[in-house]
Chain A
Amino acid sequence: MFNLFKKKESQSQWVNSPIQGRIEALDSVPDPVFAGKMVGDGFAVKPANGMVYAPISGEVVQLFGTKHAFGIRSSEGLEVLVHVGIDTVQLKGEGFEAHVATGDQVTQGQLVLSVDLEAIEAAGKSTITPVIVTNMTEVSELVLASEIIGSDKGPTDAVLSVRMK
């Protein structure tokens, strides 16, 4: 129990893009909750296809019933939310298929969701996908290299560097 208080300086962790696509800054997301970083800091990706992978290794702490978003917590305590599209909670799971369940352990790059991007667009929703660190109070450093913005990245590409306190 007491060794909890003797935690050594933590290493940086890489958050990969969950989807193949173009990396965008969060402030370009057409939703003030994400653009204003109310949920946390991170990046967004404009998907080129609908295969969504785990951006970090860890436990699936939340997979929404509507399957439009999921959260993973790493063993180091980093929590990352992937929210596929904007206002997609209103689609009630239509066009979303889950390949994991809440409580599962996943490894970085493991397939989590298959998403019908055309169904999202047909419903008049944006497919842009915020990837957010939700427990910013436990993070000491978060780095998104500016040259990554606008570039094409996929599930094997590191995008965001995060160091926990």
Chain B
Amino acid sequence: MKTVVIQNESGLHARPCSHIANMVKNVAGDVYLIKEGKPYNAKSIMSLMGMGVTKGTALEIECADPVVEESLYQFLSNLSE
């Protein structure tokens, strides 16, 4: 499990959420982003947008596939728009 702090001004809005859901949709098994101990299904765009992630929010990544977990971590670490 990796932890990342979101750095972009707009947080997780439609664009990054759709990107994340597309990244993980083929993972066999569950993928969650965890905010303040609460897991959100990363395969659901609506679930991700419902997290209300803003700049400075810390997220844990729980992913059945370690390669996808690493790319999720990289994507979330480098969010800039």
Contacts and interface: CB of A to CB of B under 8 A. Distances in A.
Contacts of A71: 46, 49-50
B7 interface: no
A153 interface: no
Nearest to B25: A137
Interface string B44-58: 111001101010000
Given A89-B10, A134-B44, A33 B54 contact: no
A165 B13 CA distance: 27
Contacts, number: 54
B2 interface: no
A61 B15 CA distance: 18
A90 B18 CA distance: 18
20 contacts: A34-B14, A39-B18, A39-B45, A62-B46, A62-B50, A64-B13, A69-B13, A69-B14, A73-B46, A79-B46, A81-B45, A81-B46, A83-B14, A89-B10, A89-B13, A89-B14, A90-B10, A134-B46, A135-B44, A137-B25
Interface of B: 9-10, 13-15, 17-19, 22, 25, 44-46, 49-50, 52, 54
Interface of A: 31, 33-34, 38-40, 61-62, 64-66, 69, 71, 73, 79, 81, 83, 89-90, 102, 134-135, 137
